[in-house]
């Protein structure tokens, strides 16, 4: 590993020296280490799905072009190589070098991973990145995955989601009772305690389940993705806000041995490309959601409405109960939740006088 890095560094240095005089060599990248890598990446998304699936396709494309073809990554949709929810295991075992999904899909295996996608009433997009890169969040994430031979990288974010599609009105907490809803992660456990029945299924199965009445409600992402699945044709009521996912971060998982095999410059390219995908995806969703929401507001068969405050208050109080109870039995959960909520407490104060206060001025 050390020798490889040294050799790579030396080759890069020799390349840089020769580049000064021979521009053609620089352009063709012949000054770099010639070793090439071909990786497979499994995902939880339908192949080339807008936003989520395209983010990882874009990641592979950027890495290949930035590395001048030295690291090629073939992306597989959920179920193409391994089942949609088994990306974590495939990367952990080294069956593939890379995976892309949401860390809360590992609930039951590594429960505390949920903090790195989203927890109900938790950090938004801006805050999650602040916590990851400057507040110790990413270090905790890497510590959590270390026993599984996986190095995680933040790679994509949907921004604050929508509460979801319901085929009945939610006017009070009683309306949650008996509701069968597709909702993964901690949000699912929260609605279970509120009297509903949460179910988990890959995105590709949601529309049919909602249309046939196998489920009464679903959350998915937001207008941009929900319209692409046609969910507005399967249920009438579209509730906001996405209390369950206030800024869902996606992850790029890399097998530890595969990561160690890369020379330092390719590691840097992977890391920077993951950051670029997070920025790019947020831009895509900001744009796509604005247009898709307009379409839904104009649709006479759709009603876009807010959850009643007392419903949100109940769900928030249940969330805090679960976080506290789990902290008593799971030391890593406790360590992560302490860091997460300490960060949120400080950040909330700042968000109130900046983003929140500013957005209010638009309606004055």
Q: List interacting residues with Ca ion (CB under 5 A).
A: 161, 219, 245
Calpha distance 70→38 (Å, rounded)? 8
**Contact status, residue 259 vs residue 267, Cβ threshold 8 Å:** yes
| Six token digits for residue 200 | 């988990």
Nearer to Ca ion, 86 or 245 (CB): 245
Quote the least distance from Cβ 60 to Ca ion, whole Å. 24
Calpha distance 255→265 (Å, rounded)? 18
Task: Let me know how long the chain is.
Answer: 364
Nearer to Ca ion, 77 or 247 (CB): 247
Nearer to Ca ion, 43 or 255 (CB): 43
Nearer to Ca ion, 148 or 224 (CB): 224
Sheet strand arrangement including 98-101: 71-76, 37-43, 98-101, 249-255, 150-157
β-pair partners for 198: 181
Nearer to Ca ion, 77 or 120 (CB): 120
Quote the least distance from Cβ 292 to Ca ion, whole Å. 15
β-pair partners for 82: none
Quote the least distance from Cβ 263 to Ca ion, whole Å. 37
**Contact status, residue 182 vs residue 235, Cβ threshold 8 Å:** no
Nearer to Ca ion, 148 or 285 (CB): 285
Nearer to Ca ion, 40 or 114 (CB): 114
| Six token digits for residue 15 | 């390349």
| Six token digits for residue 93 | 């075992």
β-pair partners for 71: 37
Sequence-distant (6+) residues with CB within 8 A of 238 are 162, 163, 164, 165, 166, 226, 232, 296, 302, 303, 304, 305
| Position of minimal CB gap to Ca ion | 245
**Chain centre distance of CA 260:** 24
Terminal C-alpha separation, the chain: 60
* C-beta neighbour count of 4 within 10 angstroms: 15
Quote the least distance from Cβ 6 to Ca ion, whole Å. 45
Nearer to Ca ion, 161 or 289 (CB): 161
Quote the least distance from Cβ 157 to Ca ion, whole Å. 12
Quote the least distance from Cβ 222 to Ca ion, whole Å. 8
Nearer to Ca ion, 189 or 219 (CB): 219
Quote the least distance from Cβ 248 to Ca ion, whole Å. 6
Q: For the chain, list the strands marked E by DSSP.
A: 37-43, 71-76, 98-101, 150-157, 164-166, 180-182, 197-199, 217-218, 237-240, 249-255, 303-306
Quote the least distance from Cβ 162 to Ca ion, whole Å. 8
**Contact status, residue 193 vs residue 318, Cβ threshold 8 Å:** yes
Calpha distance 210→220 (Å, rounded)? 12
Quote the least distance from Cβ 95 to Ca ion, whole Å. 27
**Contact status, residue 19 vs residue 12, Cβ threshold 8 Å:** no
Q: For 189-282, list the strands marked E by DSSP.
A: 197-199, 217-218, 237-240, 249-255
Nearer to Ca ion, 8 or 188 (CB): 188
Quote the least distance from Cβ 223 to Ca ion, whole Å. 13
């Amino acid at each position: 590993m050390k020798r490889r890095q040294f050799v790579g560094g030396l080759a890069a240095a020799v390349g840089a020296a020769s580049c000064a005089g021979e521009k053609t060599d620089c352009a063709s990248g012949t000054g770099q280490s010639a070793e090439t890598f071909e990786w497979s990446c499994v995902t939880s998304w339908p192949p080339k799905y807008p936003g989520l699936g395209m983010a990882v396709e874009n990641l592979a494309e950027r890495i290949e072009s930035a590395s001048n073809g030295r690291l090629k990554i073939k992306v597989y949709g959920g179920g193409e190589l391994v089942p949609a929810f088994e990306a974590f295991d495939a990367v952990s075992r080294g069956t593939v070098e890379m995976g892309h999904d949401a860390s809360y899909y590992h609930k039951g295996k590594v429960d505390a991973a949920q903090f790195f996608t989203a927890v109900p009433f938790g950090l938004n997009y801006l805050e999650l990145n602040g916590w990851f890169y400057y507040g110790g969040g990413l270090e905790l994430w890497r510590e959590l995955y270390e026993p599984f031979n996986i190095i995680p990288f933040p790679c994509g974010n949907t921004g604050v989601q929508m509460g979801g599609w319901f085929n009945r009105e939610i006017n009070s907490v009683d309306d949650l009772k008996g509701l069968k809803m597709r909702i993964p992660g901690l949000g699912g456990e929260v609605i279970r305690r509120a009297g509903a029945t949460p179910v988990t299924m890959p995105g590709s199965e949601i529309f049919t389940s909602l249309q046939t009445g196998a489920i009464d409600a679903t959350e998915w992402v937001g207008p941009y993705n929900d319209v692409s699945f046609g969910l507005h044709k399967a249920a009438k009521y579209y509730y906001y806000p996405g209390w369950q996912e206030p800024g869902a971060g996606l992850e790029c998982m890399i097998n530890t041995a595969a990561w160690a095999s890369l020379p330092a410059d390719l590691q840097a390219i992977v890391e920077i490309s993951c950051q670029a995908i997070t920025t790019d995806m947020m831009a895509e969703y900001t744009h796509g959601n604005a247009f898709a929401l307009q379409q839904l507001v104009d649709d006479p068969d759709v009603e876009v409405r807010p959850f009643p405050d007392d419903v949100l208050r109940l769900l928030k109080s249940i969330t805090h109960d679960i976080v506290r109870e789990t902290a008593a039995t799971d030391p890593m959960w406790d360590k992560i939740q302490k860091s997460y909520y300490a960060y949120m407490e400080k950040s909330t104060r700042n968000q109130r006088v900046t983003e929140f206060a500013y957005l209010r001025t638009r309606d004055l």
